Structures are given as C-alpha cells and as structure tokens.
Structure 1
Amino acid sequence: MRLDRFICKSTELNRDQATRAIEAGEVVVNGEMVTEARQQVHESNLISLNGESLTPRPSRYLMLHKTAGTVCSNSDGHYPSVLNGLDIERVEELHIAGRLDADTTGLVLVTDDGRWSFNIISPKMHATKVYRVGLRDPLADGVASRFAEGLWLQGEEKPTLPATLQQVTEREVLLSITEGRYHQVKRMFAAVGNRVVSLHREQVGEIRLDIAEGEWRYLTETEVACFAGLSQLD
C-alpha cells in the first residue's frame, strides 16, 4: 500500500495532511526517513510518525447491492455514488473492487485492502463473475459454443477467455466470465448480433449476492478468505 494511505489508515489524518507530514520528514519507515508519499510499504513494516509507532486499523470488506442509476465511484458524477448508502465511518478510505456500469445492478464488493481487491480485479487471477443477462432477441443456436471458444471483440488484440453460458429462458441467460474488459458483456452479445437490455451481477468468485436492492453488509470471514489467497494463473 502507498505510504500516504498507510498513514491515513493508522491515524485520523486525511490524504492531504498525511502527504504534508511525509514531505516534511515526519515519517520513518524501518529506521529511514521517507519523504515520498507514493512509496509502497507493507503493514509489517515499522512505520512511525513524529516518533510514534503506527498500527493500521483492521481492513474492512463489504458487499452491497447496487441499484440502477448509481456509479461505482467514490464521488458523485452524472449519477450518485453507490457508496452514498454506506452509513459507516471513513467511507473515503474505501474503494470498489470491480466496477459496474451506471445501468447495471447487482453485487459490488467494497474494501480498503488493496491486495485483496487486486485478487478480484486482476485478469491474471481469473476470478469468476456471474451475470444474469436480459437479451433483446432470443438466444441463437451456437452462441454458447462461440463464447466457450473465445470471441474476437472489435479493437482487441486477443480473443476473450472462454466463458460459460447457461440459458434460463428464451431471452435470459447466466454468463460466467473471468475477465473485466470495457463493457465486455454487452460487447460479447453485440458480436453475435444480439443486444443486452438488462444486466445484473449475481456472484463474484464464491461470494453470492444475498441482500435486497440498495442494502449492504460486511462480508463473513469465509467470504473474505475466498480472495485472500488466490494463486496467479498464467
């Protein structure tokens, strides 16, 4: 984690205050003064501010059920931030692990643990995301096989990784993918001549959405552990 973020997580300082303290030479890491706020540190490092040893607060892990018309951002834009519904302290320290478009609903994971969220969003970690997809047209024959083989999307240098498609009704499917390319689900169906009319994320890895729309809860220890030790796949 960045040193300025470590300071914020260990004190009541905000990011600007932490940066000023670092640049003023008030922070020591493993016995050496550090004046670069962006320097990467580990929670096991010995870090002090003005001679006082720092211990970061425990990391937090949440799921929330995103509603349509909200954005996966820490601040409002054209739409309100999905984090506005979190009635907890220091919301500004949290970040979203795997964003959804404004019109997409469903499971969003939120944390202040950068290593944990990396295991979710990095394509090299192959975390499976399951989407319930509503389609404009009935699902055509052979689409599941094409998705399983990988699709070439416009502007991409390599095909999509194999995806699993399960038909629910004539115009509704469950799609499981291990990537998170820009508008990937919508582009995949556009590549086979169809159009996504509704998109809802139900699951990430072993974590399933089980709360009502607009609600949130802390993850269980078992759920957190799902992404605490993912091994990288080549």
Structure 2
Amino acid sequence: MLLEKMLQSQGFGSRKYCQQLIKNGAVQINGEIIDNLKYKADLHGLEFRVYGEDYLYREKVYIALNKPQGYECSHQATHHFSVFELFDEVLMNRGLQCVGRLDQDTTGLLLLTDDGQFLQALTHPKKHVAKVYQMHTADPVTPEQAEKLEQGVELRNESGIFAATDVQRLAEHQLQMTVHQGVYHQVKRMLAAVGNKVEQLHRAQIGQLNLTDLNDLQEGEWVYLSAEQIEQAKIRE
C-alpha cells in the first residue's frame, strides 16, 4: 500500500496532509526516513514512526477502556466529559465508536472500535452477549429480590421479561449479576422493579472478557485488545 494511503487509513489526516508528512521527512520505517511519495509499505507487522512517535499498523482498532465516573459515551457531551476526550486525535480520526453505552455515573469496562461488524456483533439484540455488573444498592439486597431478578421482571415501555443470571449477593448492599440484553438503563430499572435502587454501578465483564484480566487497567486508562481478547468479548451466553 502506498505510504500516504497507509497513513491516512491510520488516522493521520487527509491524503494531502499525509503527503506533506512524507515530504517533511516526518515518517520513518525501520529507522529510515521515507520521503518518497511512491514508497509502498508492507503492512504485515508494520511498525513506523511519525515525528518520533512509534505506531503499529492496525487494519482495525479494538480498545478496552476502564471508564471513569462523570464521562458520557457521546461525541458531543453536554453536561459531562466525553469518553472520547481520553483518546488522541489520530485515533479519533479513525471514527472510533463506543460498543454500547455506559451512563455517565457508571464505571467499568467499555469497548470502542472502528470496526462496524464487531460493533454489530456485540450490540445487536439477537446476539445476547453477556455483561456482568456489580453494584452498591440503597437498601439491603434480600434473597427474595435476588430470586425475582433471576425469574425476570417487566420493565415499563419494554416488551418481554428481563431476567438476570448468576445473581450473587456479595454483601448486604452489594450485588453482582449478568444480563444478556441491553435496553436503556436496564440494570437500574430491574433493581427498581424489585423494590431496590442502584447507587453505584460498575461493569466488570463483557462476554468472557473481564476487566481484571486487562493488566490492572486503572480508571481512565485504555489498551488495545489482542485477537484472543476480541474473541472473548464476543462469546454469548
């Protein structure tokens, strides 16, 4: 692939701007400055530098973010920060999108990608990708509430029954459960339906991809997913 097209595919800007990067001697491959506009790059395992910063060619990007509180999953946040402020311009130029959403006050595992098929595979209602949530509740969680959550509840303005699996009372006010749909405010509404209230909500896992397995990722930090981790995230119920 022509070097300028490769740079453009990686989010470095317009074709004209990428040409200018090359002319300016800003691009290095294997320690050599490439200023030839006709240079064709071998994409396999390609590592390159732009203005001294190292990059790895990625056909698509798959990212796991430990989302902090107070961030919206929106490009144009109105009342809070946007999660996209946590990424640089190069990534944003690739058209990075959230794979589903977390409320601004919800923390935990959030995936982002520029791969539309991957996004669809995880968010389509028929896919039933499991998501594990941990929460702190306003009132003590009773065995009856846990049983109702597993049996299923009705949610206003939604059709069908919404049931959780693997419901675990971790402490008097702490609960963990797995949901397989993705309707608006689902976990909070399910707790309200059994007579309790979520005060703090954290997503710990998507599919078989657990936040604790991602190198002690701190709030606000992110990593690229490996091929194995990408497949783990797609595992259904």
| Both structures adopt the same fold (TM-score exceeding 0.5) | yes
Name the structure 2 match of 1:70: 71
Q: Does 1:104 align with 2:110?
A: no
* Residues 164 and 178, structure 2, Cα contact 8 Å, conserved in 1: no
Give the secondary-structure state (helix, strand or coil) at the position aligned to 1:212. coil
Tell me whether 1:113 sits opposite 2:115 in the alignment.
Answer: yes
Alignment-derived partner of residue 216 in structure 1: 222
Q: 1:10 to 1:170 in 2, by over 3 A?
A: closer
Task: Give the conservation status (yes or no) of the 8 Å contact 1:161–1:179.
Answer: no
Identity of aligned residues (%): 36
| Amino acid aligned to 1:154 | R
Deviation of the 1:164 alpha carbon: 2.9
Deviations 1:52-101 (A, max 9, x none): xxxx9600000011111110112332111112112361414100001000
SS in 2 for 1:124: coil
Alignment correspondent of 1:185: 187
Distance, in Å, in 2 between the alignment partners of 1:88 and 1:223 is 25
CA contact (8 A) 1:164 1:177 kept: no
Unaligned runs of 5+ in 2: 1-7, 16-56
CA contact (8 A) 2:209 2:233 kept: no
Q: Report the residue type matching 1:200 in the other structure.
A: H
Superposed CA offset, 1:154-195 (max 9, x none): 222211144331110010011110111111111001011111
Q: 1:150 — aligned with what?
A: 152
Distance change in 2, residues 1:197/1:162 (3 Å):
closer
Query: Alignment partner of 2:188: what SS?
Result: helix
- Deviation of 1:213 after TM superposition, in Å, equals 0.8
Mapped pair 1:124 → 2:126: yes
Unmatched 5+ residue regions in structure 1? 1-7, 15-55
In the alignment, residue 86 of structure 2 is paired with which amino acid? G
Corresponding pairs, count:
183
The residue type paired with residue 105 of structure 2 is D
State the secondary structure of the residue aligned to 1:142: helix
Offset of residue 104 of structure 1: 0.6
For 2:183 and 2:227, locate their aligned partners in 1 and report how far apart those are by CA, in whole Å. 29
Report the CA distance shift for 1:175/1:135 in structure 2 as closer, same or farther (over 3 A). same
